């Protein structure tokens, strides 16, 4: 695809040499050279990562360095590069910055090009006539992000927000200022590519290929925005190729937008994983005008997505359907995958998204306190069939609707919708995270005193932009939301809800008190892997309430809530090793408890999005996968309860039932054996019955647990085992673990080396509950394929470990754990 547009990258990979130095601010003693002597910078990049690479600062994630390095966010920084320019006689030259973080003044050869104050949008500066043959100097001065946010907040009038800094006054990633799972590392930098573009006549400004369906045909409306050089009067021709078809339109000179409609017969439809395949079609856009040319390439998937929130006999549902098929959402909330987002790339995104897929998920919600992710993220989701719920970037705060913020909000939203609208995986645009709920219930109205708070964004501006630029994708005003202005936004009977009294206030058994139509946030905390935790926490002795441990616990009274959350489920720990295992296990059980209950309510309940999939640094948090990429016990629990077919035993008024949810297109027909067994070494089967299980496609059924099995002779020494002939299983206990009699010597383990690691085979001699292997305690690089395995007497399971050498001797506590060893 030829193009007369000339691009000169000013990135480090493109050959540009950048430096960064401090301009002013509280640079600590011993680092004063930063005010006079610059260090090498990477572009795209961030000042923290530049200083770390230069050896000027220690790792911000380690120990209590986060607080020691707070001065960086209070300092202003200047980035500088020098480049030569070969005049190409084109009519227009522009400096294009895809992302500047955040309050910046941009100059070229001493001429100020402009000032920016929005991390979430790109900028284009006209530099025609300013370039010279040798020694062009670009200087970008970034004001202190913390000082800027404080100043803007004071000027605009102090809108309510959570956390320490007024992140709602500035269009910058909110969680960069710290969150209840993330570090306060307010940074600056040229965080996305920057370049010079030189062109004549006309160029493509943006492309929005909107793919849809009309019966068996794919319909692609390709919206092409054009920019014209002053005085250029030649008509342009736009050609679009897709799916073996070629279509062309002529655009009169000066017209800023054109639409090319293409149809693809017998098109292959795109579906989320578990519902069909993910075919993607290449799209090529060519622009010709006299001797000028430009082009664009991308991919689309043909599908329709609808959102049903129409009132029904139970209130109001929340149902996403793809190509007419309702999707039961098994999802997770997604935060920026690193506190320093410029370290992310296609490989890191794919690794984390595969964590979601391997865990049985079909949707990721890009949360509103983060960023609009790079195209790599959405490309991977397109390819792997993961739906994306995309928040606009508003979270847990009130926002001014006056200028200059309003103009920035509109500009960023238009750019975001334009860029992301082509992605087949994009399932929903969501106006905000918890702000409507916050206005109703968090005491904002008094301090706002009648001022705007964001309502106009969520109900007017943003839906209008989506309707204009991406009408094929549903829009929701917020999460949680009941889709009626007269109903509490977090009402369980309507729309989406967030369940946070569990974790913050009450026992996780409270999940069963709710009958939610859809849960878009809920979760429970647990520590990261041992190797992850001890790589950054160096308290001696290691303690849940140690100084550095609390640096890596951001939730209010987080470790106290971990302790309270044990309730009657598990005993208080005896030592730090037990604390780590007990709180990880309790996190996994709490979330699994909730999801099994929600799925047993199908079709009343249509999905859940757990908080959260990932971490952005090593921390005690709600994540299923920690900051070093190690899958916590929670992840293994999610893989079980997010399986396509789930068996679970749930209480009902008339007694326990075996709930079976079949989230596949094929009927589930199997034989189920339910047994009441002894927890002792005998493993005696005290009662057993078998029944046929028949569950239609995309359906759920409830089968009463037979009375002979459902009634225990002794609550503390008996349990129910549910086994399906096809391998599905579930368990039911008559008592909490603290009252359950479990054998402390309930299994044996054997280790055998393999080509790339080792296997650990565990054989139960009595009920062995929630077996888990933690090979990272021996080698941080080790990974295990399974976890939270319950075995009845006589059963065996093999854990496969990769990335490690074979350990010498048998494995026991703290590497091999179970619930049993916490109770003896």
Residue 30 binned pLDDT confidence (cut-offs 50, 70, 90): confident
Instruction: Decide if 6-197 and 646-739 have a common fold.
Output: no
Count Cα atoms within 13 angstroms, Cβ side, for 341: 27
For residue 210, pLDDT over 60 is answered with yes
Count Cα atoms within 13 angstroms, Cβ side, for 459: 11
Q: Do 52 and 342 form a contact (C-beta atoms < 8 A)? A: no
Q: Which residues contact 369 (CB under 8 A, 6 or more apart)?
A: 167, 173, 174, 175, 179, 335, 393, 395, 396, 433
What whole-number distance in Å separates Cα of residue 434 and Cα of residue 189? Answer: 29
What whole-number distance in Å separates Cα of residue 552 and Cα of residue 549? Answer: 5
Residue 823 binned pLDDT confidence (cut-offs 50, 70, 90): confident
Residue 1 binned pLDDT confidence (cut-offs 50, 70, 90): low
Chain centroid to CA 128: how far? 41
Domain definitions of the chain by residue range: 6-197, 201-300, 315-643, 646-739, 747-822
Torsion angle, alpha carbons of 51, 54, 58, 59, to 10? 70
pLDDT of residue 157: 84
pLDDT per residue as tens digits for the range 33-55:
898 899 999 999 999 999 999 99
Domain 315-643 fold is TIM Barrel (3.20.20)
pLDDT per residue as tens digits for the range 96-115:
999 999 999 999 999 999 99
Give the chain's radius of gyration (CA, Å): 28
Q: Please compute the mean of the pLDDT values over residues 262-278 and round it to a whole number.
A: 97
Q: Which residues contact 741 (CB under 8 A, 6 or more apart)?
A: 679, 680, 716, 717
For residue 2, pLDDT over 90 is answered with no
pLDDT of residue 810: 77
pLDDT of residue 692: 96
Closest by CA position to 638, among listed 812, 506, 522, 719: 522
Q: Which CATH number fits domain 6-197: 1.10.10.10, 3.30.300.30, 2.60.120.260, 2.40.50.840?
A: 2.60.120.260
In words, the CATH class of domain 747-822 is: mainly beta
For residue 361, pLDDT over 90 is answered with yes
Domain 646-739 fold is Immunoglobulin-like (2.60.40)
Q: Please compute the mean of the pLDDT values over residues 725-740 and round it to a whole number.
A: 96
pLDDT of residue 808: 86
Residues above pLDDT 90, as percent of the chain: 96
pLDDT per residue as tens digits for the range 664-698:
999 999 999 999 999 999 899 999 999 999 999 99
pLDDT per residue as tens digits for the range 331-340:
999 999 999 9
DSSP 457: I
pLDDT per residue as tens digits for the range 282-305:
999 999 999 899 999 999 999 999
For residue 811, pLDDT over 80 is answered with yes
Provide DSSP, 64-99: THHHHTGGGGGSEEEEEEEE-------SEEEEEES-
pTM for this model (two decimals): 0.96
What whole-number distance in Å separates Cα of residue 559 and Cα of residue 132? Answer: 60
pLDDT per residue as tens digits for the range 419-432:
999 999 999 999 99
What whole-number distance in Å separates Cα of residue 51 and Cα of residue 34? Answer: 10
Strand order across the 202-214 sheet = 202-214, 217-228, 257-264
Q: Please compute the mean of the pLDDT values over residues 479-499 and round it to a whole number.
A: 97
For residue 390, pLDDT over 70 is answered with yes
For residue 140, pLDDT over 70 is answered with yes
Q: Which CATH number fits domain 201-300: 3.40.190.10, 2.60.40.10, 3.20.20.10, 3.40.50.720?
A: 2.60.40.10
What whole-number distance in Å separates Cα of residue 274 and Cα of residue 258? Answer: 37
The pair of three-digit structure tokens given for residue 193, joined into one six-digit string: 């590519």
pLDDT of residue 29: 82
Looking at the DSSP assignment, which residues form a beta bridge with residue 260? Answer: 222
Range name among 273-282, 487-496, 656-665, 805-814 with the lowest pLDDT average: 805-814
Q: Do 519 and 607 form a contact (C-beta atoms < 8 A)? A: yes
The pair of three-digit structure tokens given for residue 519, joined into one six-digit string: 């849960």
What whole-number distance in Å separates Cα of residue 27 and Cα of residue 50? Answer: 15
Q: How far is CA 280 from CA 217, 243, 373, 383, in A?
A: 15, 10, 20, 8
For residue 511, pLDDT over 80 is answered with yes
Closest by CA position to 10, among listed 128, 107, 130, 138: 138
Q: Please compute the mean of the pLDDT values over residues 185-204 and round it to a whole number.
A: 97
pLDDT of residue 682: 86
Residue for token pair 């994540």: 623
Provide DSSP, 105-143: EEEETTEEEEEEEBTTS-EEEE-TTT--SS-EEEEEEEP
Residues above pLDDT 70, as percent of the chain: 100
pLDDT per residue as tens digits for the range 391-418:
999 999 999 999 999 999 999 999 999 9
Residue 165 binned pLDDT confidence (cut-offs 50, 70, 90): very high
Backbone angles phi, psi at 456, to 5 degrees: -65, -30
Provide DSSP, 561-616: HHHHTTTTTSPPPSSHHHHHHHHHHHHHHHHHHHHHHHHHTTTS--EEEES-S--S
Q: Do 797 and 762 form a contact (C-beta atoms < 8 A)? A: yes
């Amino acid at each position: 695809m030829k193009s007369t547009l000339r691009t000169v990258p000013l990135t480090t990979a493109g050959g540009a040499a950048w430096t960064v130095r401090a301009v002013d601010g509280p640079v600590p003693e011993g680092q004063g050279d930063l005010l006079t002597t610059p260090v090498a910078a990477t572009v795209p990049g961030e000042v923290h990562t530049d200083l770390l690479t230069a050896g000027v600062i220690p790792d911000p994630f380690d120990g209590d360095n986060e607080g020691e390095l707070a001065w960086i966010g209070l300092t202003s920084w200047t980035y500088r590069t020098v480049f030569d320019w070969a005049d190409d006689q084109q009519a227009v030259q522009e400096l294009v910055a895809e992302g500047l973080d955040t309050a910046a003044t941009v100059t070229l050869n001493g001429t100020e090009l402009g000032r920016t104050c929005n991390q979430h949008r790109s900028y284009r500066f006209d530099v025609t006539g300013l370039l010279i043959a040798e020694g062009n100097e670009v200087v970008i001065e970034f004001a202190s992000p913390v000082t800027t946010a404080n100043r803007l907040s004071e000027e605009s009038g102090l809108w309510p927000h959570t956390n320490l800094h007024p992140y709602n006054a500035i269009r910058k990633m909110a969680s960069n200022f710290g969150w209840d799972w993330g570090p306060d590392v307010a940074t600056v930098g040229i965080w996305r590519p920057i370049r010079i573009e030189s062109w004549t006549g006309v160029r493509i400004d943006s492309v929005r290929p909107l793919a849809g369906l009309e019966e068996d045909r794919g319909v692609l409306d390709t919206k092409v925005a054009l920019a014209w050089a002053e005085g250029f009067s030649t008509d342009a021709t736009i050609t679009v190729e897709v799916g073996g078809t070629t279509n062309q339109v002529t655009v009169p000179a000066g017209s800023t937008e054109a639409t090319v409609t293409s149809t693809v017969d017998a098109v292959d439809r795109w579906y989320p994983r578990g519902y069909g395949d993910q075919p993607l079609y290449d799209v090529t856009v060519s622009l010709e005008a006299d001797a000028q040319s430009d082009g664009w390439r991308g991919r689309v998937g043909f599908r329709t997505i609808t959102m049903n929130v129409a009132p029904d006999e139970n209130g109001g549902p929340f149902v996403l359907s793809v190509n007419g098929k309702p999707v039961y959402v098994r999802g997770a909330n997604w935060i920026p995958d690193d506190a320093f987002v410029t370290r992310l790339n296609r490989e890191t995104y794919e690794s984390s998204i595969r964590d979601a897929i391997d865990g049985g998920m079909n949707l990721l919600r890009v949360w509103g306190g983060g960023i609009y992710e790079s195209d790599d993220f959405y490309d991977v989701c397109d390819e792997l069939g993961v739906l994306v719920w995309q928040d606009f970037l508003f979270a847990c705060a009130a926002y001014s609707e006056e200028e200059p913020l309003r103009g920035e909000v509109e500009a960023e939203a238009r750019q975001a919708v334009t860029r992301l609208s082509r992605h087949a995986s994009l399932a929903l645009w969501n106006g905000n995270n918890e702000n409507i709920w916050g206005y109703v219930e968090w005491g904002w109205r008094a301090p706002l005193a009648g001022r705007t708070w964001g309502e106009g964004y969520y109900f007017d501006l943003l839906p209008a932009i989506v309707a204009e630029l991406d009408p094929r994708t549903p829009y929701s005003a917020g999460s949680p939301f009941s889709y009626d202005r007269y109903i509490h936004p977090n009402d369980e009977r309507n729309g989406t809800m967030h369940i946070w009294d569990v974790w913050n206030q009450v026992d996780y058994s409270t999940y069963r008190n709710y009958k939610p139509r859809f849960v878009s946030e809920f979760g429970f905390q647990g520590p990261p892997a041992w190797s992850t935790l001890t790589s950054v926490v160096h308290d001696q002795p290691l303690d849940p309430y140690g100084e550095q441990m609390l640096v890596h616990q951001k939730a209010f009274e987080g470790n106290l809530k971990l302790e309270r959350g044990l309730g009657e489920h598990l005993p208080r720990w005896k030592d730090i090793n037990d604390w780590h295992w007990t709180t990880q296990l309790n996190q996994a059980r709490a979330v699994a408890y909730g999801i099994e209950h929600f799925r047993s309510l199908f079709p009343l309940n249509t999905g859940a999005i757990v908080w959260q999939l990932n971490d952005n640094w090593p921390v005690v948090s709600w994540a299923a996968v920690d900051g070093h990429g190690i899958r916590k016990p929670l992840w293994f629990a999610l893989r079980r309860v997010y399986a396509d077919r789930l068996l679970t035993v749930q209480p009902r008024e008339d007694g326990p039932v075996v709930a079976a949810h079949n989230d596949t297109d094929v009927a589930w027909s199997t034989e189920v054996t339910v047994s009441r067994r002894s927890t002792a070494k005998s493993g005696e089967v005290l009662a057993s019955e078998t029944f046929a299980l028949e569950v239609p496609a995309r359906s759920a059924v409830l089968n009463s647990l037979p009375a002979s099995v459902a009634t225990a002779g002794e609550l503390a020494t008996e349990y129910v085992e549910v086994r399906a002939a096809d391998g599905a299983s579930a368990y039911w206990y008559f008592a909490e673990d603290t009252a359950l009699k479990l054998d402390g010597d309930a299994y044996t383990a054997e280790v055998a080396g393999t080509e790339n690691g080792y296997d650990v085979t565990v054989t139960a001699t009595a009920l062995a509950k929630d077996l888990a292997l933690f090979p990272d305690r021996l080698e941080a690089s080790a990974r295990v394929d399974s976890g939270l395995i319950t075995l009845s007497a006589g059963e065996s399971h093999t854990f496969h470990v990769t990335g490690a050498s074979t350990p010498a001797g048998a494995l026991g506590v703290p590497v091999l754990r179970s619930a049993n060893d916490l109770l003896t």
